[in-house]
Amino acid sequence: MSHLIVQVVLDTPLDFCFDYRYPVASEDTQLPQVGQLIVVPFGRRTEVGLVVGIKNHSEVNEKKLKDALSLVEGVPPLHREWIDLCRFAASYYQRSLGEVALPSIPKKIRHLGKLALKRALKSLDEKNGKFLSEREEKPQLHQAQQNAVSAIMHSCGFAPYVLYGVTGSGKTEIYLHSIEQVLDRSPDAQILVMVPEINLTPQLETSVCNRFPHENIATLHSRLTESERLKNWLKIASGKARIILGTRLAVLAPAPKLALIIVDEEHDPSYKQQEGLRYSARDLAVWRASQLKIPVVLGSATPSLESWQHVLTGRYIKLELPERAVKDAVLPAIKLIDTSKQLLNKGLSGELINAIQRRLEKGEQSLLFLNRRGYAPVITCEACGWISSCERCTAYMVYHKSHRLLRCHHCGLERPVPRVCPDCGNADLQALGQGTQRVEEGLKICFPDARVLRIDADSTSRKGSLQQALFSIHRGEVDIIIGTQMIAKGHDFRNLTLVGVLNPDTALFSHDYRSSERLFALLMQVAGRAGRSSLRVGANPSEVLVQTRYPMHPLYQATLSHRYEKYASELLAERKNAGLPPFGYQVLLTAESRKIETALAFLRDAAADIPCKDGIMINEPIPMAMMRIANMERAQMLIESNSRACLQHMLREWLPQLRSRKTGVRWQIEVDPLSI
Ligand X SMILES: Nc1ncnc2c1ncn2[C@@H]1O[C@H](COP(=O)(O)OP(=O)(O)OP(=O)(O)O)[C@@H](O)[C@H]1O
Parallel, antiparallel, or unpaired for β 632-641 and 616-618? antiparallel
Asked if 637 contacts 607 with a C-beta cutoff of 8 angstroms, the reply is yes
Rounded to whole angstroms, the Cα distance separating 546 from 520 reads: 12
Residues of span 586-615 touching ligand X by CB under 6 A: none
Rule CB under 6 A: is residue 196 a binding residue for ligand X? no
In angstroms, the first-to-last Cα distance of the chain is: 58
Report whether 381 belongs to an annotated binding site.
Answer: yes
- Distance in Å, CB of 630 to Zn ion, minimum: 6
Rule CB under 6 A: is residue 320 a binding residue for ligand X? no
Rule CB under 5 A: is residue 408 a binding residue for Zn ion? yes
SS3 83: helix
411 binds, among ligand X, Zn ion, none (CB under 5 to 8 A by kind): Zn ion
Rule CB under 6 A: is residue 168 a binding residue for ligand X? yes
Report whether 384 belongs to an annotated binding site.
Answer: yes
Nearest to ligand X of 327, 419 (CB atom): 327
Rule CB under 5 A: is residue 632 a binding residue for Zn ion? no
145 binds, among Zn ion, ligand X, none (CB under 5 to 8 A by kind): ligand X
Type of residue found at 245: L
- Distance in Å, CB of 167 to ligand X, minimum: 3
Closest CA to 18 of 65, 75, 88: 65
Rule CB under 6 A: is residue 139 a binding residue for ligand X? yes
Task: Choose which of 351, 492, 512, 605 interacts with ligand X (CB under 6 A).
Answer: 492
410 binds, among Zn ion, ligand X, none (CB under 5 to 8 A by kind): Zn ion
Rounded to whole angstroms, the Cα distance separating 443 from 482 reads: 9
- Distance in Å, CB of 141 to ligand X, minimum: 5
Rule CB under 5 A: is residue 411 a binding residue for Zn ion? yes
Asked if 264 contacts 302 with a C-beta cutoff of 8 angstroms, the reply is no
* Cα angle value 306/309/313 (rounded, 5°): 140
Nearest to Zn ion of 67, 391 (CB atom): 391
Element of type H or E holding 118: helix 114-122
Nearest to ligand X of 145, 210 (CB atom): 145
Rule CB under 6 A: is residue 272 a binding residue for ligand X? no
Asked if 505 contacts 524 with a C-beta cutoff of 8 angstroms, the reply is no
Task: Choose which of 71, 141, 230, 473 interacts with ligand X (CB under 6 A).
Answer: 141
- 445 burial via Cβ count (<10 Å: 0-12, 13-18, 19+): exposed
Rule CB under 6 A: is residue 170 a binding residue for ligand X? yes
Asked whether the CA dihedral 205, 206, 210, 214 is positive or negative, the reply is positive
Report whether 408 belongs to an annotated binding site.
Answer: yes
Helix ranges (H only) for 212-323 are 226-237, 281-292, 305-312
Name the DSSP class of 33. -
Asked whether the CA dihedral 270, 271, 273, 278 is positive or negative, the reply is negative
Task: Choose which of 172, 199, 366, 437 interacts with ligand X (CB under 6 A).
Answer: 172
Nearest to ligand X of 150, 394 (CB atom): 150
Binding mask 364-403 for Zn ion (x = CB under 5 A): --------------------------x-xx----------
Residues of span 325-344 touching ligand X by CB under 6 A: 325-326
Residues contacting 662, CB < 8 A, separation 6+: none
Asked whether the CA dihedral 592, 595, 598, 604 is positive or negative, the reply is positive
Task: Choose which of 490, 504, 531, 673 interacts with ligand X (CB under 6 A).
Answer: 490
Type of residue found at 630: A
Closest CA to 249 of 233, 226, 237: 233
Residue nearest to Zn ion (CB): 408
Rounded to whole angstroms, the Cα distance separating 428 from 558 reads: 43
- Distance in Å, CB of 514 to ligand X, minimum: 20
Report whether 156 belongs to an annotated binding site.
Answer: no
Rule CB under 6 A: is residue 165 a binding residue for ligand X? yes
Rounded to whole angstroms, the Cα distance separating 351 from 175 reads: 39
Rule CB under 6 A: is residue 167 a binding residue for ligand X? yes
Report whether 424 belongs to an annotated binding site.
Answer: yes
Task: Choose which of 145, 247, 339, 497 interacts with ligand X (CB under 6 A).
Answer: 145
Asked if 500 contacts 369 with a C-beta cutoff of 8 angstroms, the reply is yes
Rounded to whole angstroms, the Cα distance separating 168 from 162 reads: 16
3-state SS of 541-564 is CCEEEEEECCCCCHHHHHHHCCCH
408 binds, among ligand X, Zn ion, none (CB under 5 to 8 A by kind): Zn ion
Nearest to Zn ion of 392, 644 (CB atom): 392
651 binds, among ligand X, Zn ion, none (CB under 5 to 8 A by kind): none
- Interface with ligand X (CB under 6 A), residue total 20
Rule CB under 5 A: is residue 410 a binding residue for Zn ion? yes
- 213 burial via Cβ count (<10 Å: 0-12, 13-18, 19+): middle
- Distance in Å, CB of 176 to ligand X, minimum: 9
Asked if 370 contacts 601 with a C-beta cutoff of 8 angstroms, the reply is no
- Distance in Å, CB of 140 to Zn ion, minimum: 54
- Distance in Å, CB of 163 to ligand X, minimum: 9
Report whether 421 belongs to an annotated binding site.
Answer: yes
Stretch that binds ligand X, among 126-134, 135-143, 407-415, 592-600 (CB under 6 A): 135-143
Q: What are phi and psi of 268, to 5 degrees?
A: -70, 130
Rounded to whole angstroms, the Cα distance separating 615 from 617 reads: 7
Task: Choose which of 108, 171, 235, 248 interacts with ligand X (CB under 6 A).
Answer: 171
- Distance in Å, CB of 393 to Zn ion, minimum: 3
Rule CB under 6 A: is residue 173 a binding residue for ligand X? yes
Rounded to whole angstroms, the Cα distance separating 270 from 280 reads: 9
Parallel, antiparallel, or unpaired for β 243-246 and 217-220? parallel
- Distance in Å, CB of 531 to ligand X, minimum: 11
172 binds, among Zn ion, ligand X, none (CB under 5 to 8 A by kind): ligand X
- 62 burial via Cβ count (<10 Å: 0-12, 13-18, 19+): exposed
- Distance in Å, CB of 529 to ligand X, minimum: 7
Residue numbers in the known binding site for Zn(2+) are 381, 384, 390, 393, 408, 411, 421, 424
List of residues contacting Zn ion (CB under 5 A): 390, 392-393, 408, 410-411, 413
Residue numbers in the known binding site are 381, 384, 390, 393, 408, 411, 421, 424
List of residues contacting ligand X (CB under 6 A): 139-142, 145, 165, 167-173, 301, 325-326, 490, 492, 528, 532
